[in-house]
Structure 1
Amino acid sequence: MHYALNPRTFFYSHYFHLGLRFGAGLVGIIWLTLAVSDMHTAMSVGIGALCTALMDLPSPLRHKLNEMLASVLLCSIVTLVVSLCAPYFWLLMVVLVLLSFFASMMVVYGKKSMPLQLATLFIMTMSMEHQMAPLQALTHAGLFTLGGLAYLAYAMAISWLLRHRIKQQVLAEALFELAAYIDIKADFYDTRYNLTEQFNKLVRHQALLADRQQASRDLILRAHQNRKDAIVVQVHVCMLDLYELILSTHTDYAQLRVHLVDSPALKSLHDLAFKAARDIESVAYAVTRKLASYAQISYAPELEAIEAELAVLQARIDAGKPQHEALAVLRAQRNKVRAIIRMIGELHVASQKAYDSTPFWRDADMQPFLSQQKYELQVLLSHLRMDSPIFRFSLRVAMAIAVGLAIGTLLPYAAHNYWIILTIVIILRPSFSMTKQRRGDRIIGTVIGCVITAVILKWFDYPAVILAVLIVATVATPTFVYLRYRYTAIAVSIMILLQMHLAAGGSDNVITERLVDTFIGAAIATVFSFVLASWEYQSLPKLIQQVLAANLRYMEASFELLQGKCRNDFPYRIQRKGLMDSLAGLSAALVRMLDEPASKQRAVEDINLFIVQNYLLVAHVAALRAILRRHVTDIPAQEVNAMLAVSHRQVCHTLTAALARHGVSVTMPGSGAPAVPAHADTGSVNWSGWPVVQRRIRLLQADAEKIIVHSEAIERNVVQA
């Protein structure tokens, strides 16, 4: 279950607070307008507020102002143009199709432009039904703009007052997702779970975790100037360090299960991971409540059980039994778990302290860690070509809306073109998988919403009841839009149908007609999801190149840090983030491809293994960092650096060769040097860390070699397609 759907955390999440802010602002603006004017004016103002509210998302204040102001201006122009064209049927049809195309082209600016595209198409749809004289159209557009500006001022004021609170909520969400990530890792120690399926699940969740961590960075690292901000910065940085330690816990789980199959140590490791997840959740829970977090979970029983098992294994070794590998693996996991427990303790402490300023990276440039968004016209123009997925999506939307308008004019009952068009707009998404999901949610949500509305109007048709249901539906609409869209579809259907009932009394067939319109719109969207479709496999070569290039840069920064050539881990953190982002993008593409028709799926298993192998390289580097930090006092630096240099050349040479297979030529310093065994010339130095370092480097090199195999297989499959 998503953390925000849990009643214990739901009312403290930014999703619920968004719904409250949305509902209070929208209802408040409409009531204030009704106090000084009539219902028609209030509805015009309310629609303006509603369209602007669609852009009211957690975001830095300056970005939020720009995004919401863009929504007000763009939607005001659209409502004026559509209102002026409404009396002229053919002109209106042409304008609607053109607006649909250009609104959909805005998707080129990324995920944050999606609400703006929806707001533009929504107001276009709502304006097409009203025929107005030019003066009335100008008045309506003016009232719309007034409502939009009113909500803009309200939202900015609330966001400024609660700016620190929003940071806490977004940070808490990242912590909750990190806890869920550990829960998945815990099941690696449970022999009831298949390792391959569990690893697939882990990699998928890593994409979600990367997205939540980026949202936290964007809010927390842009402006952190007071003592309250210093606390969330400290917790955020501790969270990222903890994440790296969690990555370092990766081991050969199949071997671990073989060696410890009859040992209670596996259950102890599972229970330690489970407790660690609950411990992190307790920090997140405290952060959402603006409280300091204190450790309340004891790991002692499990740690004592592991120590006892280590003693048993050592005794067996002393008795001449071959248990060396089991002892080494369990001891390594014990050390990593202890490091994680200590870091969780630091996470608790970070939430307790008061800081005069933010001590981390005070003079560093934070831009590489932050999402960069440029709204340049040239970006849009560069996508006006048939091989652009966004251009094809825009054509798809325009054609679907044209067909929806044509069918709406032929309906035997009073035409509701706007409901058909609205259904198409909501369902038809840039990717086939998103369209498929939205279609199911929209149909099921509309059916349930219509049934609930029918029950209310038949047995509970009282103004107080209808008003209460309207308020609940208004709050629920934005609350669940990113959690469970089906709930949003239910709330929207109830809200619109009850508003129609209050405004015009409605007809006996209004609910049935809306259901028919929804099915028609869904059918049109489904048909056009196959027209000029951009299938996910077509984007694979570019995504593979991005992952390989990011991994090569990450390896360069990693070995610079491991060999002590760079004392500042800032460049390493930047490259790690870049690699994780590129892996998350490829993982998301794979998940979407699995929702596409089987004939459009390519190299699924190889892509999955390619993602896993790249992920493992990150885990090996994290493990090496942890090992070297643990032996910092007795490490033979010269010999270890020589071994790391050899490994560096081999891994970078491997990744460079993989990039070359995909048509990208990269020259790395020393990449052409011959590889030698990573354990060469180490026997003369007596250091207890050699076995674990050598083993980890061998795994690193082996997994790097596997990347070439899977990247070549992906290339063959995609090229053949």
Structure 2
Amino acid sequence: MKQELLLFLKTYDFRKGILFATLGFLLVAIGFTLFPNTPFGITLGMGILLSAISDVPGTKKHTYIGILTGIGLAIVSFCSVHLTKHNPWLLGTVISILIFTNSYICVYGLRASMVSFSGLLAIALGFVPLSPEIELYKSAFFILIGSGVYISVSFIINLISPKQIGEQLLVECMQLTASYLKTRASLPLSNNRDPLLKKLLTLQIRINEKHESLRAIVLRQQSKVMGSGYHRRQLLIFIELVDILELALATPINYKDIDKRFKDHSEVLQPFGTLLNTSSELLVDLSFKISNKKISHKTSELRAILSKIHEAIENYKQTLEATKERRDNVILLRNLADYEEQQIQKLETIESILSNDFNLHEAEDPDQPTKFITNQDYSLRALRDNFNFKSVAFKHALRLMLCVITGFVIGTVFEFQNAYWIIITILVIMRPNYGITKQRTFQRIIGTFIGALFSYLIIYSTPNIYLYAVITFIAMIFAFAYIQRDYLKAAIAITVNIIFVFAMVSDDAFGIINSRIIDTIVGSLLAVIFNYFFYPAWESSNLHRVLQGSLKANQKYLKEIASIYVNKKQPITKYKLSRKTAFMQLGNLHAAFQRMSQEPKSKQVKTKQLYDIIIIQHTFLSAAAALGTYIQSHKTTEASDYFEDYINAIINILEACVMGLNKQETQLDEALENIKKADTYLSDIYNKLFSQREKEFLQGQVTISESLRENLKEIKLVYDQLKYLYKLSVKLEKQVIIFSNQS
């Protein structure tokens, strides 16, 4: 707990919170001192706030372009509201255009959505009453000054500490990967695997998100600064983390088969779980020390556990009679041990990099790193293509516009004390998806009540204005530190901050608390109602497209695996790209399922069937990754035509799944016939090798020859994984057809 707190205090988000709070207090104080009885102190603070919102981690170029664009939209929105708010009809028209335009920008992705939020929030801030005698252009100028100060200080801090964002992302990625390893370790001996599988899928989504963020920062930096030792060190750690995830996913375990094989000998599996748990603990430990050069070597402990694994395999081998089943099980265990040894090597590499024992120049350069970066399309075509009712972004922009206008009318007609709080609540809560909107509504209301209760107790206990200032400052820090990490905590901090700001300048603090609660409830209810009834974007309407994307990604991944096995020395760039896409598409599918599960029951479509499809897809990807990882890390024999026939048949079944989603029929007779022939061929090879080993044993050769052992391991793993992939693809096709016919 102590380490986690210290880690949070070192994050970019926390330091950004300190930066914003400090600058905000200083500039507001300076503004009120130099320009008393004017709103210039407030507008300076607005400039900092609106700049901080669009400050999304990334390359320096993208970060500062985003901030400048955000503040530009904000000033236009702020001035437009002030210039028209004396004419209700004109104001309504202007607000409608501004809300739709700013919101629609989110078609360009996460950074664009935060930039657009700067413009949206400025619309609400435009209703904040300023002194009537102060010219509008001066207020806009002071907003610009506040923004300039924020950008300047942020630039200086990034010059002093350029490593911070990359380090934070690496730390978070390492800890999520450690959780994945720990959860995976619990699977073989668990009696109830469904909750663990759900947790694995959720973790994989979060890890994929971290990988994308790291690619955007680390790979772009590396492509521009190939000679930088620090950036190269970050890149190499990232590469090892991606491989660790693949190895964890690739551990070739059919759990039902494992249960059957080792029902009476579960003790042989325990060291494997111990090794994964210890690897998880080591990865967490390394994450805490990523910015600390004093690294203590602990991978020797993993090597000791690996020795115990080999001992357990030998004991298992000696305990049972020399049957074909026993030899199959021993080969399976040895393949598992190989994967664990590769995992240890990855952890040893990370440890060496962090302790400066790694030769950065001897490490292999990544193949064309910029290919792995997901580039955002900022062309006007994206705006044009989304300008229709099939687009989630278009419907969200239209829905948000109508909701804000309704909130504005309610606040005006019923003369709410601070009607713009209703608008801010709507802007913060409403999301394109109903489930996320409902979740944030709950968090916003609970956070507001908790923050209001805390504020009430403090204000009721003491009128000390200096204490209020300290609480305001601390709350502001945590509001910005948590705004993108934990919205419930952010909502609490924001509520506390707002109430104490008003408590310092108003005699009616309790009235402010009541007003805050009422405005939050009204804004939250409006957001939920409009998300449900006005142009709703139910997740079920998007499921076919997402599922199709995942199926096609698995097809491509399997093709690249087969290509490497057949061509041997083929460059692995395409393989890694297909692996990245397969991981991300599976994550997208599960994320869509999670969003749908938060929607009303009446809007959900075949959740059980879809979840079964996701589990099969995850298992399929695991089996494919096991095959791909083995092929990359071992010297393999020549691939036969039958191997290609097997792979092509599985790919054809996946294609049948895609066609089934589109209500198209396909013929698989030839593919199934090829599977039978290939299965017979591969089975014969394995039996011949097994018979060869039997002859050696009868002739007194107790220890198997190294070449025969490797050939047996190869054919055993390749044959088992092909059979497993085929079985999964057939099962997947049946489930997809059922889902397609009933959805």
Please report how far the alpha carbon of residue 299 of structure 1 lies from its aligned counterpart in structure 2 after TM superposition: 3.2
Q: Does 1:701 align with 2:726?
A: yes
Q: Does 1:526 align with 2:505?
A: no
Please report how far the alpha carbon of residue 660 of structure 1 lies from its aligned counterpart in structure 2 after TM superposition: 2.5
User: Are the aligned partners of 1:48 and 1:147 in contact in 2 as well (CA < 8 Å)?
Assistant: yes
Q: Unaligned 5+ residue runs, structure 2?
A: 693-710
Stretch moving more, 109-118 or 582-591: 109-118
User: Are the aligned partners of 1:230 and 1:357 in contact in 2 as well (CA < 8 Å)?
Assistant: yes
Q: How far apart, in 1, do the equivalents of 2:289 and 2:728 lie? A: 40
Q: How far apart, in 1, do the equivalents of 2:322 and 2:389 lie? A: 72
Q: Does 1:539 align with 2:564?
A: no
| Total equivalences in the alignment | 708
- Give the structure 1 partner of residue 444 of structure 2: 442
- Give the structure 2 partner of residue 231 of structure 1: 233
User: Are the aligned partners of 2:499 and 2:509 in contact in 1 as well (CA < 8 Å)?
Assistant: no
Compared CA separation, residues 630 and 146, structure 1 to 2 (3 A)? closer
Q: How far apart, in 2, do the equivalents of 1:460 and 1:132 lie? A: 31
User: Are the aligned partners of 2:293 and 2:354 in contact in 1 as well (CA < 8 Å)?
Assistant: no
Q: Does 1:688 align with 2:691?
A: no
- Give the structure 1 partner of residue 172 of structure 2: 173
- Give the structure 1 partner of residue 514 of structure 2: 512
Compared CA separation, residues 163 and 59, structure 1 to 2 (3 A)? same
| Structure 1 segment 558-707 matched on structure 2, within 5 A | 558-628=561-631, 631-632=634-635, 635=636, 637-638=637-638, 640-663=639-662, 674-675=674-675, 676-680=677-681, 682=685, 687-689=711-713, 690-707=715-732
Compared CA separation, residues 35 and 162, structure 1 to 2 (3 A)? farther
Stretch moving more, 147-156 or 441-450: 147-156
Q: How far apart, in 2, do the equivalents of 1:378 and 1:491 lie? A: 40
Please report how far the alpha carbon of residue 406 of structure 1 lies from its aligned counterpart in structure 2 after TM superposition: 1.8
Compared CA separation, residues 481 and 66, structure 1 to 2 (3 A)? same
Give 2:378's match in structure 1, choosing from 349, 367, 375.
Answer: 375
Stretch moving more, 435-444 or 677-686: 677-686
Give 1:221's match in structure 2, choosing from 203, 219, 229.
Answer: 219
Please report how far the alpha carbon of residue 374 of structure 1 lies from its aligned counterpart in structure 2 after TM superposition: 2.6
Compared CA separation, residues 630 and 130, structure 1 to 2 (3 A)? closer
Compared CA separation, residues 453 and 135, structure 1 to 2 (3 A)? closer
| Structure 1 segment 381-420 matched on structure 2, within 5 A | 381-411=384-414, 414-420=416-422
Q: How far apart, in 2, do the equivalents of 1:375 and 1:133 lie? A: 40
Q: How far apart, in 2, do the equivalents of 1:309 and 1:362 lie? A: 38
Q: Does 1:348 align with 2:351?
A: yes
**Paired AA for residue 264 in structure 1:** E
Q: How far apart, in 2, do the equivalents of 1:191 and 1:660 lie? A: 37
Stretch moving more, 37-46 or 348-357: 348-357
**Paired AA for residue 318 in structure 1:** E
- Give the structure 1 partner of residue 270 of structure 2: 267
Q: How far apart, in 1, do the equivalents of 2:539 and 2:550 lie? A: 16
Please report how far the alpha carbon of residue 486 of structure 1 lies from its aligned counterpart in structure 2 after TM superposition: 0.8
- Give the structure 1 partner of residue 83 of structure 2: 84
Q: Deviations over 1:395-418 (max 9, x none)?
A: 221121122122112336x53210
Give 1:241's match in structure 2, choosing from 224, 240, 243.
Answer: 243
Q: How far apart, in 1, do the equivalents of 2:122 and 2:135 lie? A: 17
- Give the structure 1 partner of residue 16 of structure 2: 18
Please report how far the alpha carbon of residue 70 of structure 1 lies from its aligned counterpart in structure 2 after TM superposition: 0.5
Q: Deviations over 1:12-60 (max 9, x none)?
A: 3333233223323333433444454336211111111101101122211
Q: Deviations over 1:485-522 (max 9, x none)?
A: 11101111111111122234445412112111111111
User: Are the aligned partners of 1:293 and 1:351 in contact in 2 as well (CA < 8 Å)?
Assistant: no
Stretch moving more, 222-231 or 157-166: 157-166
Compared CA separation, residues 382 and 691, structure 1 to 2 (3 A)? closer
Please report how far the alpha carbon of residue 132 of structure 1 lies from its aligned counterpart in structure 2 after TM superposition: 6.8
Q: Does 1:148 align with 2:147?
A: yes
Give the TM-score normalised by the residue count of structure 1. Answer: 0.91
Compared CA separation, residues 666 and 550, structure 1 to 2 (3 A)? farther
User: Are the aligned partners of 2:39 and 2:139 in contact in 1 as well (CA < 8 Å)?
Assistant: no
Q: How far apart, in 1, do the equivalents of 2:28 and 2:296 lie? A: 41
User: Are the aligned partners of 2:55 and 2:64 in contact in 1 as well (CA < 8 Å)?
Assistant: no
Q: Deviations over 1:561-587 (max 9, x none)?
A: 122355311111111111111111111
- Give the structure 2 partner of residue 466 of structure 1: 468
**Paired AA for residue 7 in structure 1:** L
Q: Does 1:161 align with 2:160?
A: yes
1:6 partner SS: helix
- Give the structure 1 partner of residue 708 of structure 2: none
- Give the structure 2 partner of residue 67 of structure 1: 66
Q: Does 1:299 align with 2:302?
A: yes
User: Are the aligned partners of 2:81 and 2:126 in contact in 1 as well (CA < 8 Å)?
Assistant: yes
Q: How far apart, in 2, do the equivalents of 1:641 and 1:308 lie? A: 35
Q: How far apart, in 2, do the equivalents of 1:361 and 1:267 lie? A: 35
2:485 partner SS: coil
User: Are the aligned partners of 1:200 and 1:608 in contact in 2 as well (CA < 8 Å)?
Assistant: no
Q: How far apart, in 2, do the equivalents of 1:306 and 1:409 lie? A: 72
Please report how far the alpha carbon of residue 543 of structure 1 lies from its aligned counterpart in structure 2 after TM superposition: 0.8
1:688 partner SS: helix
Please report how far the alpha carbon of residue 621 of structure 1 lies from its aligned counterpart in structure 2 after TM superposition: 2.9
**Paired AA for residue 711 in structure 1:** V
Stretch moving more, 48-57 or 126-135: 126-135
Stretch moving more, 80-89 or 676-685: 676-685
**Paired AA for residue 446 in structure 1:** T
Compared CA separation, residues 415 and 463, structure 1 to 2 (3 A)? closer
**Paired AA for residue 655 in structure 2:** T
1:461 partner SS: coil
Compared CA separation, residues 478 and 294, structure 1 to 2 (3 A)? farther
Please report how far the alpha carbon of residue 617 of structure 1 lies from its aligned counterpart in structure 2 after TM superposition: 3.1
Q: How far apart, in 2, do the equivalents of 1:198 and 1:496 lie? A: 41
**Paired AA for residue 678 in structure 2:** P
1:191 partner SS: coil
Stretch moving more, 444-453 or 125-134: 125-134
- Give the structure 1 partner of residue 431 of structure 2: 429
User: Are the aligned partners of 1:537 and 1:600 in contact in 2 as well (CA < 8 Å)?
Assistant: yes
Stretch moving more, 147-156 or 130-139: 130-139
Q: Unaligned 5+ residue runs, structure 1?
A: none
- Give the structure 2 partner of residue 41 of structure 1: 40
**Paired AA for residue 337 in structure 1:** E
User: Are the aligned partners of 1:87 and 1:132 in contact in 2 as well (CA < 8 Å)?
Assistant: no
User: Are the aligned partners of 1:450 and 1:493 in contact in 2 as well (CA < 8 Å)?
Assistant: yes
Q: How far apart, in 1, do the equivalents of 2:296 and 2:254 lie? A: 34
Q: Deviations over 1:232-256 (max 9, x none)?
A: 1111111122222112214012232
Give the TM-score normalised by the residue count of structure 2. Answer: 0.89
Q: Deviations over 1:526-579 (max 9, x none)?
A: 211212211001001111221122222222222111223553111111111111
Q: How far apart, in 1, do the equivalents of 2:18 and 2:423 lie? A: 28
Compared CA separation, residues 652 and 266, structure 1 to 2 (3 A)? same
Q: How far apart, in 1, do the equivalents of 2:478 and 2:293 lie? A: 24
- Give the structure 2 partner of residue 457 of structure 1: 459
Q: How far apart, in 2, do the equivalents of 1:81 and 1:516 lie? A: 28
**Paired AA for residue 23 in structure 1:** A
Compared CA separation, residues 8 and 65, structure 1 to 2 (3 A)? closer
Compared CA separation, residues 308 and 359, structure 1 to 2 (3 A)? closer
Q: Does 1:714 align with 2:739?
A: yes
Q: Deviations over 1:62-89 (max 9, x none)?
A: 1101111100111011111111112223
Compared CA separation, residues 32 and 369, structure 1 to 2 (3 A)? farther
Query: Percent identity over the alignment?
Result: 21
Q: How far apart, in 1, do the equivalents of 2:349 and 2:360 lie? A: 18
Stretch moving more, 541-550 or 302-311: 302-311
2:599 partner SS: coil
Compared CA separation, residues 560 and 27, structure 1 to 2 (3 A)? farther
User: Are the aligned partners of 1:86 and 1:131 in contact in 2 as well (CA < 8 Å)?
Assistant: no
- Give the structure 2 partner of residue 206 of structure 1: 204
Q: Deviations over 1:282-341 (max 9, x none)?
A: 221111446556326613664454344323322333376964454344333233222212
